[in-house]
C-alpha cells in the first residue's frame, strides 16, 4: 500500500543539485551507521506490525520523529511476543491525555524499549537513543537514568562502585535520577543546603534536608519513576564542611516502590513542557546510608571520618560538563527536525500569488519564507558540525583527565558552557521561527513543532542556566585576555586573541572569501573579549572590588562568550565543509550554506561587525 508523495514535494526534491545520500552519510557518521539507523525502526516495526508496507513504516518512523503520526492516529498493530509485555492496541496520541495518562503512556513505551534494547543487545549509545526516540518521541521518564545517573556512577564512582552499581542500572534492577537542584538553589551550588553528616560510630552518613529551601526540587524521574538517586549534598565530617559530594541514596522500596523511611517524595506539578517527565521533590529526614555509598573516585571519607580531598574540587562537576556536551549535540538535531517539518510543509502549502492571476504558489517561493527556513537549515548544519568539532577537543580532554592530567579542564568547562548556551538559545529561536513559518498549522500540536519547542527550550535553563554558563566561560576567556595582555602563552583554543588581525581582502563587489569570513568572526570575538576585559579593568580602576567589577562588566562578558561560540561554530562549519571530501556539487552547496549562515550572523549582529570595521 505505497503512499504517493505530494507532487510539489517530489518536484522540489527532483531539483536537488546534489546527491542527498552523500550528505546523509556524513551527518550520521558514514553509510554503515546510517544503514543501522534506518534498519532499527524498520526491523522493530516489521517485527511488531503486520499489514504495513515499508513506506508506511518509514512514514510512521519519520512521523514519529516529528510526532506527526501520534496525531494522525496511526496505530501499530503489535503481533509478536513483545506484544505480551506491550499489551496495547498501539501508540495513542498523548495530546488528549491528562498528565497522569500521558506519563503512563510514555512509561509503558519506555519500559517496552528498555526491554527490547536489552533483548536486542543494542550496545551503541546512539543506536539506543534512536531506538528509544522512535517509541518515546517526547520526554522519556528514564532520561535521567540513561544519562546523568549512569554518567555520575561512571565518572564519580570507584572501580568497585562501578562494578557494583552499573550492572543494576544497565539491567534496570534500579531506576535512577540525578538529584542536585534544591527549591532554594539550582545555579549556586555552593549554596546547597542538603547535608550528609558522617557518623563515625556507625560508619554511616546521615542525610538531611534541614529547611524547606533545601528540599531537592526539579530532578527528573524523582516524582514517580526513580527508586535510587545520585544525590549531591554538603559533606560534614569531624565538624567540617567539605563541600558538595555525590551519594548513592535509595529512595523507594525495590519491590513495593513505596518511599523508604525518612523519605518524602512526589511530583512538582505541571510544567511548560516535558509533560511526560515526572520532575519531583524530595525531603530527607535524617536518612542513614553506609559510608560506602559516597561516590569516592576523587574524594574519600575514611572509616575514622577523615576527609581526603580530590586533586581538583571541580571534578565533582564532571557529570554536568558531560551532559552539557550531550545538549550541545542534540540542539542541532532538534532544530534539524523542526526545519525539516517546516520546509516540507512550505513545499506543499500553496498560498497567495506572486504574479497576479498566476495562481497560488508554493510558499517556499516567497523570498521571506526562504530566508526564514534556509537560515535555519544552515543553523542546524552549523550546530551539528560544530558539535562534532567540539567532540574532538572534548574526547582529548577527557582521555587526559582519565590519566589524571587536568590541564584541559578549564578549557573544556569554558567550551561546553559557552556552546551549551549558544546552541540552546539558537535552537530555541530557530524552532520558534519554524513554527511561525507554518502559519496556523504550525500552531497545531499535530505539526510536532510546538512540543519540540516546549520540551527543548528547557535546555536553556537546565544543566546550567545559559547566562550563568556564559559567565562561566567568560572567566576562562577573561583570564586568557589578561595573559594575552602580558604576552604570555595561551591555550591553543584562544591563541587568536594574540594573532587576530583584520586584513580582509574581499571587496563588496565580489563573492566573499571564506577565509575572510572566519577572520571577521575571529576578529569580532577577539574585540568583544578584549572590550569585556577593558570594562572589567575600568570597574577595578573605579575602585570596585573584583566581584563588583565582574558584575559591572557582566553583560559584555556574556556577549564575549557568545561571540567566542559563534566564531567556533563558523570556523568549524567552513573548515569541516572544505575538508570533508564531498563531491564538487555537494561541497559547493555546503559552502554556500556556510556563507549564508555566516553572512546572516553578520546581519543579525551587525553592530559588532560594523564596530570592528
Ligand X SMILES: Cc1cc2nc3c(=O)[nH]c(=O)nc-3n(C[C@H](O)[C@H](O)[C@H](O)COP(=O)(O)OP(=O)(O)OC[C@H]3O[C@@H](n4cnc5c(N)ncnc54)[C@H](O)[C@@H]3O)c2cc1C
Ligand Y SMILES: CCCCCCCCCCCCCCCC(=O)SCCNC(=O)CCNC(=O)[C@H](O)C(C)(C)COP(=O)(O)OP(=O)(O)OC[C@H]1O[C@@H](n2cnc3c(N)ncnc32)[C@H](O)[C@@H]1OP(=O)(O)O
Which residues are tagged catalytic? 463
456 binds ligand Y (CB under 6 A): yes
Q: Find out whether 449 and 434 touch, Cβ atoms under 8 Å.
A: yes
Which among 200, 202, 209 has a CA at the least distance from the CA of 240?
A: 200
Which among 472, 504, 535 has a CA at the least distance from the CA of 609?
A: 504
190 binds ligand Y (CB under 6 A): yes
271 binds ligand Y (CB under 6 A): no
Cell 521533590 locates to 281
The contacts of residue 413 (CB under 8 Å, 6+ apart) are 314, 317, 321, 472, 473, 476
- Among all residues, whose Cβ is closest to ligand X? 186
Cell 579593568 locates to 537
459 binds ligand Y (CB under 6 A): yes
Q: How many residues bind ligand Y (CB under 6 A)?
A: 32
Least separation in angstroms between residue 115's CB and ligand Y is 20
Instruction: Measure the CA–CA gap between 186 and 191, rounded to whole angstroms.
Output: 9
Least separation in angstroms between residue 274's CB and ligand X is 5
Which of the listed partners (ligand Y, ligand X, none) does 467 bind, with a CB threshold of 5 to 8 Å by partner kind?
Answer: ligand X
Given candidates 222, 327, 570, 572, which one binds ligand Y under the rule CB under 6 A?
327
Q: Find out whether 276 and 282 touch, Cβ atoms under 8 Å.
A: no
Interface with ligand Y in residues 150-189 (CB under 6 A): 178, 180-181, 187-189
Burial of 379 (0-12, 13-18, 19+ CB in 10 A): buried
220 a known binding residue? yes
Long-range CB contacts (within 8 A, 24+) of 240-245: 240/307, 242/299, 242/307, 242/309, 243/190, 243/313, 243/316, 244/189, 244/190, 244/192, 244/316, 245/196, 245/294, 245/295, 245/299, 245/316
Q: Residue 49 or 64: which CB sits closer to ligand Y?
A: 64
Q: Site residues (CB under 6 A) for ligand X?
A: 144, 178-181, 186-187, 218-220, 274, 279, 458, 461-462, 464-465, 467-468, 471
143 binds ligand Y (CB under 6 A): yes
181 a known binding residue? yes
What x/- string results for residues 400 through 439 when contact with ligand Y is judged by CB under 6 A? ---------xx--x----------x--x------------
Find the helix or strand (DSSP H, E) in which 206 lies.
strand 204-208
Least separation in angstroms between residue 175's CB and ligand X is 13
Least separation in angstroms between residue 410's CB and ligand Y is 6
Which of the listed partners (ligand Y, ligand X, none) does 472 bind, with a CB threshold of 5 to 8 Å by partner kind?
Answer: ligand Y
Burial of 509 (0-12, 13-18, 19+ CB in 10 A): exposed
Which residues of this protein are in contact with ligand Y, per CB under 6 A? Answer: 143, 148, 178, 180-181, 187-190, 220, 314, 317, 320-321, 326-327, 330-331, 334, 409-410, 413, 424, 427, 456, 459, 462-464, 468, 472, 475
Binding residues for FAD: 181, 220
Amino acid at each position: 500500500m505505497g503512499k504517493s508523495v505530494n507532487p510539489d514535494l517530489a518536484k522540489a526534491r527532483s531539483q536537488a543539485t546534489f546527491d542527498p545520500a552523500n550528505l546523509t552519510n556524513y551527518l550520521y557518521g558514514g553509510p554503515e551507521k546510517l544503514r543501522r539507523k534506518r534498519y532499527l525502526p524498520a526491523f522493530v516495526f516489521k517485527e511488531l506490525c503486520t499489514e504495513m508496507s515499508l513506506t508506511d513504516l518509514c512514514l510512521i518512523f519519520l512521523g514519529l520523529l516529528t510526532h506527526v503520526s501520534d496525531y494522525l492516529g496511526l496505530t501499530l498493530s503489535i503481533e509478536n511476543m513483545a506484544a505480551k509485555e506491550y499489551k496495547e492496541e498501539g501508540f495513542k496520541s498523548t495530546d488528549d491525555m491528562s498528565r497522569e495518562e500521558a506519563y503512563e503512556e510514555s512509561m509503558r513505551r519506555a519500559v517496552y524499549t528498555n526491554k527490547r534494547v536489552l533483548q536486542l543487545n543494542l550496545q551503541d549509545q546512539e543506536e539506543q537513543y534512536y531506538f528509544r526516540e522512535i517509541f518515546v518521541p517526547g520526554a522519556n521518564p528514564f532520561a535521567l537514568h540513561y544519562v546523568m545517573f549512569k554518567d555520575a556512577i561512571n565518572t564519580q564512582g570507584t572501580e568497585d562502585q562501578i562494578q557494583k552499581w552499573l550492572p543494576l542500572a544497565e539491567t534496570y534492577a534500579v531506576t535512577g535520577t540525578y538529584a542536585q537542584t534544591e527549591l532554594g538553589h539550582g545555579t549556586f551550588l555552593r549554596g546547597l543546603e542538603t547535608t550528609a553528616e558522617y557518623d563515625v560510630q556507625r560508619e554511616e552518613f546521615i542525610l538531611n534536608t534541614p529547611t524547606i529551601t533545601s528540599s531537592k526540587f526539579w530532578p527528573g524521574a524523582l516524582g514517580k519513576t526513580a527508586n535510587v538517586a545520585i544525590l549531591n549534598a554538603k559533606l560534614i565530617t569531624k565538624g567540617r564542611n567539605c563541600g558538595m559530594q555525590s551519594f548513592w541514596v535509595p529512595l523507594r522500596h525495590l519491590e513495593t516502590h513505596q518511599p523508604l523511611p525518612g523519605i518524602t517524595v512526589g511530583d512538582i506539578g505541571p510544567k511548560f513542557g516535558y509533560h511526560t517527565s515526572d520532575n519531583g521533590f524530595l525531603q530527607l529526614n535524617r536518612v542513614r546510608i553506609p559510608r560506602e555509598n559516597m561516590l569516592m573516585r576523587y574524594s574519600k571519607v575514611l572509616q575514622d571520618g577523615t576527609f581526603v580531598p580530590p586533586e581538583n574540587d571541580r571534578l565533582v562537576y564532571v557529570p554536568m560538563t558531560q551532559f552539557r556536551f550531550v545538549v550541545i549535540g542534540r540542539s542541532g538535531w532538534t532544530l534539524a527536525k523542526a526545519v525539516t517539518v517546516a520546509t516540507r510543509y512550505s513545499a506543499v502549502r500553496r498560498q497567495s500569488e506572486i504574479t497576479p492571476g498566476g495562481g497560488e504558489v508554493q510558499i517556499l517561493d516567497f523570498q521571506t519564507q526562504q530566508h526564514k527556513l534556509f537560515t535555519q537549515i544552515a543553523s542546524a548544519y552549523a550546530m551539528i558540525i560544530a558539535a562534532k568539532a567540539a567532540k574532538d577537543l572534548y574526547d582529548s580532554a577527557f582521555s587526559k583527565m582519565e590519566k589524571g592530567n587536568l590541564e584541559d579542564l578549564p578549557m573544556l568547562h569554558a567550551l561546553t558552557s559557552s556552546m551549551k548556551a549558544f546552541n540552546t538559545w539558537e535552537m530555541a529561536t530557530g524552532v520558534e521561527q519554524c513554527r511561525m513559518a507554518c502559519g496556523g498549522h504550525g500552531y497545531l500540536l499535530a505539526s510536532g513543532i510546538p512540543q519540540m519547542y516546549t520540551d527543548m527550550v528547557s535546555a536553556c535553563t537546565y544543566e546550567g542556566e545559559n547566562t550563568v554558563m556564559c559567565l562561566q566561560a567568560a572567566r576562562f576567556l577573561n583570564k586568557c585576555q589578561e595573559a594575552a595582555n602580558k604576552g604570555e602563552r595561551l591555550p591553543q583554543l584562544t591563541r587568536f586573541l594574540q594573532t587576530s588581525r583584520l586584513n580582509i581582502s574581499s571587496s563588496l563587489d565580489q563573492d566573499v572569501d571564506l577565509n575572510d569570513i572566519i577572520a571577521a568572526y575571529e576578529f569580532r570575538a577577539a574585540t568583544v573579549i578584549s572590550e569585556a576585559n577593558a570594562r572589567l579593568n575600568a570597574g577595578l580602576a573605579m575602585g570596585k572590588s573584583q566581584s563588583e567589577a565582574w558584575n559591572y562588566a557582566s553583560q559584555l562578558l556574556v556577549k564575549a562568550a557568545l561571540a567566542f561560540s559563534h566564531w567556533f561554530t563558523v570556523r568549524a562549519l567552513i573548515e569541516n565543509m572544505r575538508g570533508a571530501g564531498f563531491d564538487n556539487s555537494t561541497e559547493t552547496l555546503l559552502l554556500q550554506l556556510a556563507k549564508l549562515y555566516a553572512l546572516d550572523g553578520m546581519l543579525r549582529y551587525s553592530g559588532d561587525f560594523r564596530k570592528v570595521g
